[in-house]
Amino acid sequence: MGAYNILKMNINCKYCNATCVVNIQFKFADTWQHQYLIGEKVMWGGADIGIPGLDKVKVYGVSDLDKCPTCRNLFPYEYDIFIEKDIIKYVNHLADFGDYNTNDGNYIIC
């Protein structure tokens, strides 16, 4: 995947309800393994991918965890990360991979 950033978040397993910390890798803003939480502002000014200050962007993300460490059932591992005016707002399970057929598959302007 090359240089990327990490969004750290908790996900509850739908099978056993265990809470797991997941690192979601994404390529948007200054891509240099910066670590973020939901609600934080992404940094710019280095190995930039994308355009700063956009009203709303959907960014492709891939989790480092594909199975629940407790019950071993599969987790979704692809995500849509929503960023508004450089603030990470929320994350959903990937809706449509075809959305990322532009911008090298990294993001789409909403």
DSSP 47: S
Q: Model-level pTM greater than 0.95?
A: no
pLDDT of residue 1: 52
Coil/strand/helix, residue 98: helix
Per-residue pLDDT of the chain (110 residues; tens, 9 = 90+): 578 999 999 999 999 999 999 999 999 999 999 999 999 999 999 899 999 999 999 999 999 998 999 999 998 899 999 999 999 999 999 999 999 988 788 999 99
Could you tell me if 102 and 108 are in contact, meaning their C-beta atoms sit under 8 angstroms apart? Answer: yes
Tokens found for residue 50: 């994308």
How far apart are alpha carbons 17 and 63 in whole angstroms?
18
Contact 6, 35 (CB under 8 A): yes
| pLDDT at residue 103, as a whole number | 78
- What pLDDT sits at residue 38? 98
Where do the structural domains in the chain lie, given as residue ranges?
5-109
Q: If phi over 0 gives left and psi between -120 and 50 gives alpha, with beta otherwise, what is residue 63?
A: beta
